Amino acid sequence: IALHRILRHKNVIQLLYVEQIDQHYVSLMELCDYGNLQQMLRASPGSVLAEPICRRYFRDMLEGVAYLHSQNIVHRDIRCENFLVDHHDCVKLCDLSCATRFCNGDELQTTSYANSAYLSPEIIENKPFNPRTADVWALGVCLHVLLTSKLPF
């Protein structure tokens, strides 16, 4: 929540309000009433989106992740379910529960929180990895899913 409070970008879901009640946090986020990209794929004819739509959505996805990385934050759980679409047809990165700070020069990571279908090769091989490049790999998997409605592996 602390990381999410400082983020302000059109392609990152906006945290509007947070309150702690006993041991739990209640958060209010901006409305993205078109659901997530996986839901949109399932609802579209043939379970694929037209290429111009994929291109526009992927640009939004790239801009959201690039903004996080520019703030020295890595998401660590990039997948189609973690991108929401609002009523302006703008894609927004959400679910920052696995996000953490990562600066150039930090030690490589050995623990991943991502869905196995979106894992980069070095994570699958249990090697230390740069979480920024792992986020980028997962974006590539998302693009493949948007264009084909199937996971690449």
Amino acid found at 20: Q
Report the pLDDT value the prediction gives residue 1, as an integer from 0 to 100: 62
| Rounded alpha-carbon distances, angstroms, from residue 35 to 13, 58, 115 | 12, 16, 19
Q: Does domain 2-148 have CATH number 1.10.510.10?
A: yes
Report the pLDDT value the prediction gives residue 107, as an integer from 0 to 100: 80
| 93, 82 Cβ separation under 8 angstroms | yes
d(CA 85, CA 24): 27
- Domain ranges in the chain are 2-148
Question: Catalytic pick from 22, 33, 77, 106?
Answer: 77
Report the pLDDT value the prediction gives residue 55, as an integer from 0 to 100: 97
Report the pLDDT value the prediction gives residue 115, as an integer from 0 to 100: 73
Reply yes or no on whether 95 is catalytic.
no
> Going residue by residue through the chain (153 aa), what tens digit of pLDDT does each one get?
677 778 999 999 999 998 989 999 889 999 999 999 999 999 987 778 899 999 999 999 999 999 999 999 999 999 999 999 999 999 999 999 899 999 877 888 887 777 789 999 998 898 999 999 999 999 999 999 999 999 998
d(CA 21, CA 109): 33
Report the pLDDT value the prediction gives residue 73, as an integer from 0 to 100: 95
Report the pLDDT value the prediction gives residue 3, as an integer from 0 to 100: 77
